[in-house]
Amino acid sequence: MAGPASSEREVILEILFRSGGCLSSHHFIGGNHEASNYLCELHYGGWSLPNIYFLWFAGVVKFGNIHIGGLSRIYNARNYCLGHHERPSYNDNTIRSVYHVWEYDVHKLMHLEEPIDIFLSHDWPLSSTNYGNWQQLAHYQKTIQR
């Protein structure tokens, strides 16, 4: 599913900036469609707009008694063990590897002492194709292995 057209994105951003952000608190993670160069500037996570919080590449926030954790980016076997090596300005390789999950970030989340109640991920869970109409999903999403 494609995101909004460029002109629609500009309108959405204009509304968010002029209104001072969202009315309620939002937390988000990044994937391969977000502006990695901007998110890298929020090195430890943080407020990208008023009431809109970036959880960083591997982050947890506590909302009341609920722990919300997130792992940004998408999995890529080639880059998983490399660690944080990308720096702006990006070249042909790092423009893609900058949005890949790193083993380092996964290990940080695995070492938390308190359990995560809600977990956000840009990747699909491994068994997600076992539910619903996976044949139709595979037809539209060609990267899914049958």
Q: With respect to residue 141, please indicate whether it lies within any of the assigned structural domains.
A: no
**Domain range holding 104?**
6-126
Q: With respect to residue 93, please indicate whether it lies within any of the assigned structural domains.
A: yes
DSSP 67-121: EEEEE-SB--TTTTTT-S---SSP-TTHHHHTTB--HHHHHHHHT-SSPPSEEEE
Q: Can you tell me the distance from the alpha carbon of 136 to that of 31, in angstroms, rounded to the nearest whole number? A: 24
- Please count the structural domains in the chain: 1
Q: With respect to residue 144, please indicate whether it lies within any of the assigned structural domains.
A: no
CB atoms closer than 10 angstroms to residue 69:
21
Cis peptide before 89 (omega within 30 of 0): yes
Pairing of strands 46-49, 52-54: antiparallel
Q: With respect to residue 121, please indicate whether it lies within any of the assigned structural domains.
A: yes
Q: With respect to residue 122, please indicate whether it lies within any of the assigned structural domains.
A: yes
Q: With respect to residue 12, please indicate whether it lies within any of the assigned structural domains.
A: yes
pLDDT tens for the 146 residues of the chain, in order: 455 556 776 776 676 666 665 666 788 888 888 888 778 888 788 888 788 888 888 999 998 899 999 999 888 899 899 877 777 788 888 888 888 899 999 999 999 999 999 999 988 777 776 777 878 877 887 776 65
Q: With respect to residue 131, please indicate whether it lies within any of the assigned structural domains.
A: no
